[in-house]
Amino acid sequence: MKNVYTFLAALLFFEVSGQEIKLVKDLTPGSESSDISILYSGSDKILLSNVFLGADEILLSDGSEEGTKVLIPASQGESFGKVIETKEGFLHLFTKQNNVTYVYEINLEEESITPIKTLMLKYSLSDCIYTKEKYIISSESYLYFYDVKSGFNSEIGSYGLNILGFCEYKEEVYFIVGSSGKFDLYKTNGTKAGTKVVKNLADSFTTQTKSIYFTELNGKLLFGVVNAFELDSEGMWVSDGTEEGTIQLVNMSLDENYAKGKTKAILGDKLYFVGKEHGGDISDIKIYETDGTISGTKKIEDGESIVDPGHLVAYRGELYFHNSYEKRIYKIEESKYKEVYDNSYLMLTYDNGVECGEELTTFDDRLYSTGVSSANGIELWESGTESNDIKQYDIVSGATGSKPEQLTSTGKLLFFTATTAATGRELYVFDPNKSAVHKLIPEDIIIIPNPATDRITLPGHLAGGDMEVMTARGEVITNRRLVKKEMDVSSLTPGVYFVRIKHANKIYQTRFIKI
């Protein structure tokens, strides 16, 4: 069997023609690498930063050299703080310089940037959240309110030692406060009087608490507490906004990448996440699933020796992930692990001499991953939906490889960073419309009502198709089979959403506004 897989991998080897993948721009001319971070993707553009002379150079790119423009030069000495999409085609960019925070508005269509506010905070900007043209901002233990429309801003107050995480839920903003004596869940309406403790989660707090990541699921607020120590407060929690309705689902050590979104995914009515029981080692790191209840929270185990899973991706109604230890790709079917051996998807396994890397994402109705082989090093791999459909994009010839990272989709383009001897690590773009490979061209559909508040209705003939709902930033929030033409959107945060449905070998797409 091993020889069969090896033969198929060699037979299906695909070398990029030079048209599909190209260097966007050598931001640091010569062989010196750029220090690039992709900050935002959407509207067929990305916002990125490049550390230059100790400060952040902020750029906007449409994937072409001439369309890659500097919005904020590094000479201004500012560092990236946060980027938030406020409405379709507009971003707010927060930069910081010591305790001064600058707020800019970016018009993606006009590719323009306008300064709109300078905020004087107690310390440097920590985090912020946008809701109804207003911001709640944290600066270490200090909380601030900023009204974009009027320009008014004020200090709400100081809370504990540190403020962690933000999420809008039931028209209020929730966050965690850690102090020397306790660890609390708070909520605020933007005023001092309206900022209250929901529940004390623990009677001890350590500054080694790394992150809090909120997720709304099934009308409830789920949040994961990631800590460097095995404390009682660590693990997965759920809240309905009340003290009695805030409970710990499971006490465990969450994976450190949870807050980055790499080890969590929502599929249907369940949240999947990675962690281990306290006291366990790397072999005890498993995938868990929860529907927001204690009885519905469990570890996925069926006898398979899955070690250190990561990069959870919802794709075509199933959950895919890579096994960091064995360098293989698996999927979950009916709460059981299944190794992807049947050539229907990625063949990145030891059996064909290719190990899957640390990147796994969906783009253009296909799966993309980094793969490692002795002949070609670390390169970009793509899988299709038909049997034996797998391709490698050999950006750097030979065994060195280009080591792609930060695979980021705008919907029409796939951006990533890659390394060559000539340019060092720089920004690259993949355009499937320029590929010789056959691609399905999406057809536009109409949904009603649009804008919508509670429900949307899709064309009835698409029932039974595989549906994805994405935010304007490309984050998949729903991936499931479309059973009926009506869809409940009442729990979605107001904003722009994209819908893609594959049905009868065709792809249909649309977008709607949730108000």
What amino acid occupies position 55?
A: A
Q: Is the distance from CB of 142 to CB of 132 less than 8 angstroms?
A: no
**From-to residues of CATH 2.60.40.3080 in the chain:** 443-514
Distance CA 158, CA 17 (A): 57
Spatial strand order in the sheet of 336-339 = 309-315, 318-323, 328-333, 336-339
Q: Is the distance from CB of 296 to CB of 290 less than 8 angstroms?
A: yes
User: Can you give the pTM of this predicted structure?
Assistant: 0.76
Exposure letters 77-104 (e unless 16+ CB within 10 A, then b): ebbbbbbbbeeebebbbbbbeeeebbbb
Residue 485 pLDDT:
84
Sites in the chain below the pLDDT cut of 50: 1-18, 259, 341-354, 385, 387, 436-440
Closest alpha carbon to 170 in 225, 131, 126, 137: 131
Strands 247-251 and 253-254, by their bridges, are unpaired
The correct CATH number of 443-514 out of 2.60.40.3080, 3.90.79.10, 1.20.1200.10, 1.10.3720.10 is 2.60.40.3080
**pLDDT tens for residues 30-52?**
888 999 999 999 888 999 999 98
215 is written with which tokens? Answer: 């997720």
Residue 333, strand partner residues? 336
Distance CA 366, CA 385 (A): 7
Q: Is the distance from CB of 387 to CB of 378 less than 8 angstroms?
A: no
Residue 147 pLDDT:
95
Can you say whether the dihedral through the CA atoms of 66, 472, 346, 372 is positive or negative?
positive
287 is written with which tokens? Answer: 């995938």
Residue 234 pLDDT:
81
201 is written with which tokens? Answer: 């989660």
78 is written with which tokens? Answer: 């500012």
User: What are the start-end ranges of the E strands in 300-413?
Assistant: 309-315, 318-323, 328-333, 336-339, 354-363, 366-373, 377-383, 390-393, 405-409
* Percentage helix, strand, coil for the chain under 3-state DSSP, each rounded to 5: 5, 55, 40
Q: State the first-to-last Cα distance of the chain, in angstroms, to the nearest integer.
A: 54
